[in-house]
């Protein structure tokens, strides 16, 4: 009996119990992230925009967890291309529909801070907004806010997203005109 008490109190047993907890922790991490918890995840985002009196307006949304101003983005959806995924994310997260362009504006890297840091490579596509819904899937979870380029640059914290805003601001009139001509040609 005394030997079993000594064994239960021995530092080795306490360490083994601690190692079991660490093992279970890493097992949960592997289950969630795969064998490499530090790998980068690819996501696809939309930069919703409209032209207002010849100037580019951008639609920002808040992230659900931190409330930072971001653009809609998410992982590739089964059966959808990257631009189609970006458009679907804009519908779900921002409640907007429109014309998504196949040419990416660029890529940027961001980090989500959860249980561990998750590195994300985001490819963004311009989305010319043609319809804004009053009700949408994530309405109660996010705010949305239309801003001009200068304000968007001030509010967005990811430097890569800022670069994409600047690129889109420069080409938005051309994209708008191209879309207008395609719509007229289809009529």
CATH of the domain at 106: 3.90.79.10
Contact 104, 73 (CB under 8 A): no
Contact 165, 114 (CB under 8 A): no
pLDDT attached to residue 181: 79
Instruction: Note whether 25 and 91 are same-domain residues.
Output: no
Contact 94, 83 (CB under 8 A): no
Instruction: Note whether 90 and 121 are same-domain residues.
Output: yes
Q: Supply the Cα-derived Rg of the chain in whole angstroms.
A: 23
Q: Along the 187 residues of the chain, how does pLDDT read in single tens digits?
A: 554 444 444 444 444 455 566 667 666 656 555 555 567 899 999 999 999 999 999 999 999 888 999 999 999 999 999 999 999 999 999 999 999 999 999 999 888 776 777 889 999 999 999 999 999 999 999 999 999 999 999 999 989 999 999 999 999 988 888 888 777 666 5
The predicted model scores a pTM of 0.77
If one counts the domains in the chain, the total is 2
Instruction: Note whether 47 and 12 are same-domain residues.
Output: no
Instruction: Note whether 63 and 142 are same-domain residues.
Output: yes
Contact 87, 101 (CB under 8 A): no
Instruction: Note whether 138 and 163 are same-domain residues.
Output: yes
pLDDT attached to residue 31: 56
pLDDT attached to residue 5: 42
Vertex 94: Cα angle to 130 and 112 (nearest 5) = 140
pLDDT attached to residue 176: 85
Instruction: Note whether 105 and 149 are same-domain residues.
Output: yes
- Domain housing 24: 2-33
Instruction: Note whether 137 and 175 are same-domain residues.
Output: yes
The whole-angstrom separation of Cα 50 and Cα 157 is 21
């Amino acid at each position: 009996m005394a030997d079993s008490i000594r064994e239960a109190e021995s530092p080795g047993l306490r360490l083994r119990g601690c190692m079991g907890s660490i093992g279970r922790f890493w097992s949960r991490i592997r289950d969630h992230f795969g064998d490499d918890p530090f790998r980068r995840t690819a996501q696809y985002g939309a930069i919703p925009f409209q032209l207002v009196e010849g100037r580019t307006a951008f639609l920002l949304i808040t992230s659900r967890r931190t409330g930072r101003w971001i653009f809609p983005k998410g992982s590739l959806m089964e059966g959808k291309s990257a631009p189609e995924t970006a458009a679907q994310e804009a519908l779900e997260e921002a409640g907007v529909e429109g014309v998504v362009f196949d040419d990416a504006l660029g890529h940027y890297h961001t980090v989500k801070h959860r249980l561990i840091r998750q590195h994300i490579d985001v490819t963004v596509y311009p989305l010319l907004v043609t319809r804004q819904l009053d009700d949408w899937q994530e309405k109660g979870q996010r705010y949305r806010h239309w801003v001009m380029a200068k304000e968007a640059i001030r509010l967005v914290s990811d430097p890569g997203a800022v670069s994409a805003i600047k690129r889109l601001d420069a080409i938005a009139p051309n994209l708008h005109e191209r879309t207008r001509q395609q719509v007229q040609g289809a009529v």
